[in-house]
Amino acid sequence: MANCKTLIIYKMVEIVNTEQLLESSTDDQVINQKVVFLTGDDNNAFFMIELQPNEILPAHYHKEKIEIYYIMKGQGRITTGEFKNEKVLDPYVQNVEEGYTFSISPNMVHQIINTGTKPLLILASAPKSHGGEDRYFVEFDFNGGDLPVEAD
């Protein structure tokens, strides 16, 4: 018998095509926008969010861990505010565009609107629970009233 080395076989890595997943996905049943789980586990996952022109990701917050956003394509406006005692405190508006990245802390209400003429694509990193059981919607009209807007 010839000398044989033990061959170690590793589990294959699951590779997904984001564009194909977006094209074949249906809207999130709760918010009526495309939010697609890409990869990851319960602690750390990637999601792709697609907003068409003038579409809004509704105001919501998460109680656990941060969420990191990276604007892949398009432009928009994010409004944030702290959620405390059943109220949104100190709402603030900032413009975002391709290449921008930012973090959303726990209990920070956030809403994003696509202000451009093309789809807004956002890559989000968060616990898997942010797409379901740790997602709390807030009845608050961030688009009404005079809110401070960051100068470009």
Residue 120 DSSP code: E
The pLDDT of residue 91 is 87
Q: Is residue 14 in some structural domain?
A: no
Q: Is residue 25 in some structural domain?
A: no
61: domain CATH number is 2.60.120.10
Q: pTM for the complete prediction?
A: 0.79
Q: Is residue 10 in some structural domain?
A: no
Mean pLDDT, residues 121-150 taken together: 74
What's the mean pLDDT when you consider all of the chain? 83
Q: Residue 112: which domain range? A: 35-137
What is the total count of domains within the chain? 1
Q: Is residue 51 in some structural domain?
A: yes
61 pairs with which residues across the strands? Answer: 136
pLDDT (tens digit per residue) in 84-112: 888 888 889 999 999 999 999 999 999 99
97 and 150 Cβ atoms separated by less than 8 Å: no
The pLDDT of residue 145 is 45
Token representation of residue 68: 């990191």
Task: Using the predicted structure, report yes or no on whether residue 150 has a pLDDT greater than 80.
Answer: no
144 confidence band (pLDDT: 50, 70, 90): very low
Q: Is residue 5 in some structural domain?
A: no
9 confidence band (pLDDT: 50, 70, 90): low
pLDDT (tens digit per residue) in 10-37: 676 778 888 888 888 776 767 777 888 8
Please give the backbone phi and psi of residue 130, each rounded to the nearest 5 degrees, phi first. -65, -20
Q: Is residue 26 in some structural domain?
A: no
C-alpha span between 50 and 57 (Å, rounded): 9
